[in-house]
Amino acid sequence: MIRKLICLASIVLSSASLFAHERGENYVFLQFHPSKIDGRVEIKIDELKEKLGVDILENGEASIEKIQQTASQVHEYIKRNLKIGPQSDQEFELKFTRSSLFEGEGGWAQYEFQIDTERVPAFLHITHTMCYENDRMHRGIVVLEKGKWPAPDYEMLISMVFSPNNSTQVLDVANPPEVMTPLAMIWQGVLHIWIGIDHVLFLIALTLPIVLVRDAETKRWKPSKGFGKSLWPLIKVITVFTVAHSITLLLASLEIVSIPSRFVESVIAFSIIIVALNNIFGRSHNTSLVVILLLGLFHGLGFASVMAELPMRISEIKHFLLIIVAFNFGVELGQIAILLVAFPLLFALRTTKIYSPLVLTGGSAALIFVAGYWFVERAFGL
């Protein structure tokens, strides 16, 4: 008996520390069975009034009777703003079964529903747009449940996070994702810069001419003298690029700045072309810091679009800022890792006869070809 109580207490305490209802969030709980899906939507009481015009207070207190009386109105709202189906163009019928009140943490109205299906599909296409009205910071949290609370076998996984700019996602039922923590966001930032080949090529294009200087008398390019004389210009370039993309990453994540992704991705491809052309034909083999600043702003918008698709939960603005800083820090670590490999190699090759014609000019020409293909593909939607 004591062992069972300890087990139950550990579940309660761990769940409480892991998952708390936060203002600015609503919740969709899903539990899968062989031929049906049980679901529950939880919406904060004051948001029902603020965003749906549904007042369930009676003498200043939440009323279960009022929840039940207004349930049909909320059901229609949920049906319009929560789509669950086996395909993007198909949706299951939500059959509402019960309405209740959860009094903890400020009070929440609960609306239970059931989805009947011959079998639960391997992937669920979910569109969630509840409670986003005039609130770009609102988040919709999808929680997967197993067992029945508070039994010892009860399990819960915060799996998906929806936002105004990430309102449609696909859930892998057998392998659901877990919500991202700030620490996990650092790795996502590193991963994105590594697999974001357009960002990597932009960094390479900036780095190629750093190890050369222009001879004032002969007007020809020659190897820079000393590691430090090449490293300092690189530090300046990367610092400006970092400042630029950090600014727009923050502004776009807060939805203060919003530019169509097709345009942003086209400019990112074009930025590689601009830098590579300057490497070949420019008077200086160091791209202007002002140009790098302007181009870096668009790279930040590209980073923000990727971050917005990650399942990150935001309980308050300081947590959101922490998430952004963590992701951006990961991007910087990824950049540093790339440069730690590329820069010493380029520095070692700078004194060879092949560097200027083959590495700098030939490499920049190759970058123009690749980025040009991307630009045409992205700009014209090919």
Whether residues 213 and 291 share a domain: the answer is yes
Whether residues 217 and 91 share a domain: the answer is no
Distance of CA 34 to the CA centre of its chain: 32
In a domain, 367, yes or no: yes
Whether residues 102 and 202 share a domain: the answer is no
Find the domain containing 321 and state its range. 182-379
Q: What is the per-residue pLDDT for 126? A: 95
Whether residues 375 and 337 share a domain: the answer is yes
Whether residues 338 and 362 share a domain: the answer is yes
Q: For residue 156, what is the DSSP state?
A: E
Whether residues 53 and 111 share a domain: the answer is yes
List all residues 6 or more positions away from 59 whose beta carbon is below 8 Å from its beta carbon. Answer: none
Whether residues 205 and 311 share a domain: the answer is yes
In a domain, 2, yes or no: no
In a domain, 230, yes or no: yes
Q: Where does a domain end: 144, 172, 200?
A: 172
In a domain, 220, yes or no: yes
Q: What is the per-residue pLDDT for 205? A: 92
Q: Which amino acid belongs to residue 145? A: E
Whether residues 96 and 27 share a domain: the answer is yes
Kindly give the confidence (pLDDT) of every residue in the chain, 382 residues in length, as a single tens digit, with 9 standing for 90 and above. Answer: 444 433 433 333 333 334 566 667 889 999 999 889 999 999 999 889 888 888 888 877 888 999 999 999 999 999 999 999 999 889 999 999 999 998 866 789 999 999 999 899 999 999 999 988 877 778 888 989 887 766 677 787 877 888 887 889 999 998 887 776 778 788 888 888 887 888 889 999 999 988 887 776 766 778 888 887 788 888 888 888 889 988 998 888 777 888 888 999 999 999 999 999 988 887 555 667 888 889 889 898 888 887 776 666 555 567 678 888 888 898 889 988 988 899 999 999 988 988 988 999 999 999 999 999 999 999 987 7
150 upstream amide cis, omega within 30 of 0: yes
In a domain, 131, yes or no: yes
Q: What is the per-residue pLDDT for 227? A: 82
In a domain, 353, yes or no: yes
Domains contained in the chain, number = 2
pTM above 0.95?
no
In a domain, 188, yes or no: yes
Helix (H) and strand (E) counts in the chain: 11, 13
Q: Where does a domain end: 120, 154, 172?
A: 172
Q: Where does a domain end: 113, 143, 172?
A: 172
Whether residues 187 and 57 share a domain: the answer is no
Whether residues 42 and 126 share a domain: the answer is yes
In a domain, 5, yes or no: no
For the purposes of burial, counting CB atoms within 10 Å of the CB of 177, is it exposed (0-12), middle (13-18) or buried (19 or more)? middle
Whether residues 131 and 273 share a domain: the answer is no
The three-class DSSP label of residue 147 is: coil
Whether residues 298 and 163 share a domain: the answer is no
